């Protein structure tokens, strides 16, 4: 079975041009960065930044003091800490900010950061509603060429880029269906300290969301409440549909069908189990997932007339229709978390002023597909979407 070393030969035989390697930045190119939202996801982003390029954490913001305490404990940390994010943006020394706040804050904080002259790494989904898309796009494109990298790390992950090249180069023929899936298990009791409500500015955390009493479940699992997130469709599915739209060069579906329900997590507003189908020009995309079973994890299957690519964050396998079942003709494995490559691309673009791997339009399109699915579910299970939107 061909390994990674044979990828270039395989690509050339398929009529596909190999990707150029990313530029390695110099040892003295230290970037000054501020971070807004210092919870669990930011911990991963900072770890990836540490492995990407020379950088310095200058300022950090969070409305929950224990999260800021974790940032303070970083080695050689001299960053200032803040509860109000605008104080971070007011720092003239900053080259960029990394934003990992709940979804309903994404567009507001990102637009303010761009207006303050900062380059931005914005976690996905970049929007909380369909209507926010134009606001964010205008802010980026009218920002005097500020860089905004959306947190769709597959776009910088080498084996995802290889798989997309193969698909676009015709290596599996005409694709008629893409299956996507993601299974996680939220029944597990992850170790967590009780929320210290005295150390939390709940009103500030709510922001533009309707006023409501503090809830431990909403604070910890905000993605599963409509005021703050969009459930699996804007969290997990947004990653996979971004890969689909990227590989297939089409930005949005024309029809969505979706059913979902809260079969286990009754406190949530978003469904814990979903089935969805999207119609694109010439092909369909299906998605399924549940939050009570993690066997199989997540992945995509691109099914074409000549072959199939099965793609996960661990790697991909390419199968030929003419080859006996179960024997991939090509495989490529991941060598590290793609967030490291993605953060590296962001830092590189800050230096070069080139367009990042995941520009605002890609983030908008990925979020929009998830929003369309949720809207279809709320409106009886089906929704036609105008292709000119």
- The answer, yes or no, to whether the previous bond of 125 is cis (omega within 30 of 0) is yes
pTM over 0.85: yes
Q: How high is the pLDDT of residue 320?
A: 95
Q: Give 191's pLDDT tier (boundaries 50, 70, 90).
A: low
Question: How far is the C-alpha of 320 from the C-alpha of 325, rounded, in Å?
Answer: 8
**Contact between 60 and 81 (Cβ < 8 Å):** yes
* Residue where one domain finishes, among candidates 154, 179, 205: 154
**Contact between 248 and 175 (Cβ < 8 Å):** yes
Mean pLDDT of the chain: 92
* Residue where one domain finishes, among candidates 133, 154, 175: 154
Question: How far is the C-alpha of 287 from the C-alpha of 275, rounded, in Å?
Answer: 6
| Enclosing H/E stretch for 42 | helix 40-50
User: What's 76's domain CATH number?
Assistant: 3.40.50.720
Residue at 353 is within a domain: no
Give the mean pLDDT of 179-190: 89
147 shares a domain with 224 = no
310's tokens: 């099965």
User: What's 364's domain CATH number?
Assistant: 3.30.360.10
Domain coverage including residue 146: 20-154
**Contact between 371 and 175 (Cβ < 8 Å):** no
310 shares a domain with 201 = yes
| φ, ψ (nearest 5 deg) of residue 118 | -100, 145
Give the model confidence (pLDDT) of 241-272 as tens digits.
999 999 999 999 999 999 999 999 999 999 99
Give the mean pLDDT of 190-211: 92
Scan for tokens 């893409």, then name that residue.
178
Question: How far is the C-alpha of 322 from the C-alpha of 327, rounded, in Å?
Answer: 10
Residue at 14 is within a domain: no
Give the model confidence (pLDDT) of 307-332 as tens digits.
999 999 999 999 999 887 778 999 99
* Residue where one domain finishes, among candidates 154, 171, 187: 154
Q: How high is the pLDDT of residue 14?
A: 42
Give the model confidence (pLDDT) of 342-377 as tens digits.
999 999 999 999 999 999 999 999 999 999 999 999
| Cα dihedral: 240, 241, 242, 243 (round 10) | 60
Residue 304 has pLDDT above 90, yes or no: yes
| φ, ψ (nearest 5 deg) of residue 272 | -90, -10
Question: How far is the C-alpha of 352 from the C-alpha of 343, rounded, in Å?
Answer: 14
Indicate the number of domains in the chain: 2
250's tokens: 């089409």
301 shares a domain with 184 = yes
Give the model confidence (pLDDT) of 36-80 as tens digits.
999 999 999 999 999 999 999 999 999 999 999 999 899 888 999
Percent of the chain residues past pLDDT 90, beyond the cut: 86
201 shares a domain with 145 = no
Question: How far is the C-alpha of 252 from the C-alpha of 389, rounded, in Å?
Answer: 9
Percent of the chain residues past pLDDT 70, beyond the cut: 92
* CA 362 to each of CA 66, 241, 245: distance values in angstroms, whole numbers, following the listed order: 34, 10, 9
Q: How high is the pLDDT of residue 17?
A: 31
Q: How high is the pLDDT of residue 26?
A: 37
Residue 9 has pLDDT above 70, yes or no: no
Q: What is the CA radius of gyration of the chain?
A: 21
């Amino acid at each position: 079975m061909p390994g990674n070393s044979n990828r270039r030969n395989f690509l050339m035989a398929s009529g596909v041009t190999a990707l150029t390697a990313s530029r390695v930045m110099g040892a003295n190119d230290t970037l000054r960065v501020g971070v807004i939202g210092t919870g669990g996801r930011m911990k991963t982003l900072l770890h990836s930044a540490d492995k990407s390029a020379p950088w310095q954490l200058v300022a950090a913001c969070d409305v929950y003091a224990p999260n800021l305490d974790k940032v303070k404990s970083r080695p050689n940390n001299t960053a200032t800490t803040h509860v109000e994010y605008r104080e971070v943006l007011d720092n003239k020394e900053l080259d960029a900010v990394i934003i990992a706040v709940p979804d309903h804050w994404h567009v507001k904080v990102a637009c303010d950061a761009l207006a303050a002259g900062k380059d931005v790494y914005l976690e996905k989904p970049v929007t909380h509603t369909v209507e926010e898309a134009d606001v964010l796009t205008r802010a980026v494109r009218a920002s005097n060429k500020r860089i905004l990298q959306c947190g769709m790390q597959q776009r910088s992950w080498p084996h995802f880029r290889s798989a997309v090249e193969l698909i676009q180069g015709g290596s599996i023929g005409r694709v008629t269906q893409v299956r996507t899936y993601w299974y996680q298990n939220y029944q597990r009791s992850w170790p967590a300290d009780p929320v210290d409500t005295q150390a939390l500015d709940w009103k500030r955390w709510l922001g533009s969301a309707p006023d409501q009493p503090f809830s431990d479940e909403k604070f910890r699992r905000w993605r599963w409440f409509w005021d703050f997130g969009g459930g699996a469709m804007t969290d997990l599915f947004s990653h996979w549909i971004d890969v689909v739209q990227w590989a297939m060069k089409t930005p949005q579906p024309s029809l969505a069908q979706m059913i979902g329900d809260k079969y286990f997590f009754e406190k949530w507003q978003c469904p814990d189990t979903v089935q969805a189908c999207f119609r694109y020009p010439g092909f369909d995309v299906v998605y399924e997932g549940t939050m009570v079973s993690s066997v199989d994890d997540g992945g995509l299957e691109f099914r074409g007339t000549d072959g199939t690519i099965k793609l996960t964050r661990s790697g991909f396998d390419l199968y030929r229709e003419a080859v006996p079942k179960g024997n991939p003709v090509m495989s490529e494995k991941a060598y590290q978390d793609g967030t490291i490559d993605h953060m590296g691309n962001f830092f590189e673009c800050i230096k070069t002023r080139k367009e990042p791997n995941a520009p605002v339009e890609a983030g908008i399109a990925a979020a929009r597909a998830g929003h369309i699915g949720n809207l279809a579910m709320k409106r009886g299970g089906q929704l036609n979407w105008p292709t000119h939107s």
